[in-house]
Structure 1
């Protein structure tokens, strides 16, 4: 009997061919799945912006993405202008390629920061991309590798899938987008997340994150499996309640909840239920006791719940900026000058936030820090500017 059934893949293929014969455009993904992928993009691109901010030491923002499922030809047509494209392989539960593309202005600004220059240049977009050297493209690749680690870690935590970036390579795409895309996506449908990237409050251009259609479907399926594991197809098919083909045409009318009297010898019938008057019920408003205000605030009890949460405390001795050339020239015995004077207090950070200042002390054979000042809220806000 099982030989008479067709698989879901064969059914999709038949529906696809039927749609082509009828001249209808195929729906690549359901709107509900695209909404789910938008939430995934919010989480993953937010993690990417935090990682890129750390890498560039500049404030990087990435807007909430819009998600589309496009045909291969429609996606290739979007590469009409030059784009800086980082191609990387992913492995784990999802295997294949994924692409991150940047418009010229954004790519040129990031390249300028990596090279130690002004984050916002005045070049034309085409000139900016044409001037990117091999070393700068390699530096962009390093930034993509760093950012991808955070992006796919957030994706794995959200979906329960193991997704790890393997390699990345950045190049400039100027024409032949169809041939270039074909090297990375064997599946024709392509899912693209489109967002706007900005640095230090200035929007620089679009950022695209491209998945193969099969990868996007695997991400949606992973979310369903993680957050609704009991609603699998097997459960729905095996635990379904049988429904009779034909229901009896009997109109059941409500019967009053009245106990039969002792003088009644005959059974209570449906006709008597319809003719007997319903008893009157007295309706009153509910009365509640007044709510007493508790004088004891639960703040201490709430604080007790988080007392065992570990926090990372770090002391910043000083910072400096160096170009790639300066970093490569460092060797054993090299001295790096920091931006701190000898008598200036050191910064004490808790989970990356500046909270206090102090001075170095020696405790036995270890270094320590003596807190000399706890920063006020206004001072902490000023330190973030």
Structure 2
């Protein structure tokens, strides 16, 4: 295979896989798993800008029966990661990034070194998969590395073993990020069954009617004085910040926190005249709160403090959404 990106014909050949054994490759597992991984990618959407440094959107997943031998013949110099499931589902899932795709990873995800980005993406994907299935997979993942798939010991799957090959795609400004998840037939069938159970449970919970409360009005005795219940203003609950259901996926993502003491516009002549001992007067007054930025976005203000031998910032106020909009104008 040449070093260009996989053509559509090559992708179709990889997904079709003519050598899958007929006794296994006759179910609708590819369609079920494609729907499952589509939902998984949607769960990952809030995480992608922080991981990649650029927007990756419009997730899609396609699945076909194939065989491991066909997969090996269709990829060239791939990066391979293996995830062993030891929980409710037991087996292996193999992640493949074709060698040609590796060449465009720096443009698609400039915020991370390519292998580091793929490792974090793979870990987040498995976590989202567990959440979508509602079960623990007990995953043990290996880091992405270049493997010789012609060696039988590299991946514990027989060449003639039927597999479900899932093509996952995320679209970015610099191109599409495409990679493959390969599941042996027995793992694919078990995972598809679990996905069906999870979907059925979710649908049943959504359709269940709320429990009716039978309230009977007490009988009024003859000649009794009518009594009107006291009306109280509803208590105002403490304001809470809702947490997204998938917030756990991004808790370990590093963010760049910057504190800005002040700014100053200078002419080129003034910059060239700077030397050792020069003083630059900033636009902040002494004692005025400093700005705290996270990934370049103003999120708080505070005052400079000294912690042991280091400078720090004591947050005095959090920037409101309205103030953030004003800062963008």
TM-score tier, shorter chain, comes to 0.5 to 0.7
2:70 aligned partner: 74
| Structure 2 residue 86 is matched with structure 1 residue 91 | yes
1:370 pairs, out of 313, 317, 321, with 317
From 301, 309, 319, the equivalent of 1:359 is 301
Aligned CA distance change for structure 1 residues 214 and 85 (closer, same or farther; 3 Å): same
Counterparts of 1:212 and 1:110, CA distance in 2: 27
Cross-structure match for 2:185: 213
Q: Distance in 2 between matches of 1:108 and 1:142?
A: 15
Superposed CA RMSD:
4.4
Q: Residues 180 and 49 from structure 1, CA distance in 2 versus in 1: closer, same or farther, beyond 3 angstroms?
A: farther
Deviation at 1:361?
Answer: 4.6
- Give the TM-score taking structure 2 as reference length: 0.55
1:196-211 matches, cutoff 5 A: 196-199=169-172, 201-211=173-183
Q: 1: distance between equivalents of 2:32 and 2:322? A: 42
Distance 2:291 2:168 in 1: 41
Structure with greater helix share of residues: 1
Q: Secondary structure at the match of 2:196?
A: helix
Q: Provide the residue aligned with 1:45 in structure 2.
A: 41
Q: Distance in 2 between matches of 1:61 and 1:311?
A: 22
Local SS of the residue matching 1:36: helix
Q: Size of the alignment, in residue pairs?
A: 234
SS of 2:260's equivalent in the other structure is coil
Change in Cα spacing, 1:218 to 1:372, as seen in structure 2 (3 Å) is closer
Provide closer, same or farther for how the CA distance between residues 50 and 183 of structure 1 changes in structure 2, counting only shifts above 3 A: same
* 1:292-307 pair list within 5 angstroms: none
Aligned with 2:256 (options 312, 319, 328): 319
Provide structure 2 residue ranges, at least 5 long, that are not aligned to the other structure: 1-20, 202-233, 245-254, 263-283, 285-289, 308-312
Inter-partner Cα distance in structure 1 for 2:185 and 2:157: 9
Higher RCO (C-alpha under 8 Å, 6+ residues apart): 2
SS at match of 1:65: strand
1:188 matches 2:161? yes
The 5 A counterparts of 1:1-385 are 25-26=22-23, 28-31=25-28, 33-48=29-44, 50-61=46-57, 63-79=59-75, 81-110=76-105, 119=110, 140-173=114-147, 177-180=149-152, 183-185=155-157, 188-199=161-172, 201-228=173-200, 308=240, 310-311=242-243, 319=256, 338=258, 340-342=260-262, 343=284, 345-347=291-293, 357-361=299-303, 367-371=314-318, 374-375=321-322
Q: Which is further off, 59-68 or 48-57? A: 48-57
1:42: how far off?
0.8
Using the alignment, how far apart are the partners of 1:98 and 1:368 within structure 2? 45
Counterparts in 2 of 1:70 and 1:305: CA distance versus 1, 3 Å: farther
Flag the 1:217–1:309 CA change in 2: closer, same or farther, 3 A: farther
Query: How far is the alpha carbon of 1:194 from its aligned partner?
Result: 0.6
1:42·1:65 contact (CA, 8 Å) conserved in 2? yes
Return the index of the structure with the highest Cα Rg: 1
Paired residues of 1:148 and 1:165 also in contact (CA < 8 A): no
Q: Is the CA contact 1:48–1:148 (under 8 Å) kept in the aligned structure 2?
A: no
Cα separation, 2, equivalents of 1:49 and 1:180: 36
Is contact 1:90-1:97 (8 Å) kept? yes
Deviation at 1:97, TM superposition (A): 2.4
Gaps of 5+ in 1: 1-23, 121-135, 230-300, 313-317, 321-337
Q: CA separation of 1:102/1:28 partners in 2, compared to 1, >3 Å: closer, same or farther?
A: same
User: Are 1:88 and 1:166, in contact at CA under 8 Å, matched by a contact in 2?
Assistant: yes
2:54 match: secondary structure = coil
Distance in 2, Cα, partners of 1:306 & 1:211: 48
Q: Deviations over 1:41-61 (max 9, x none)?
A: 112234456545423433334
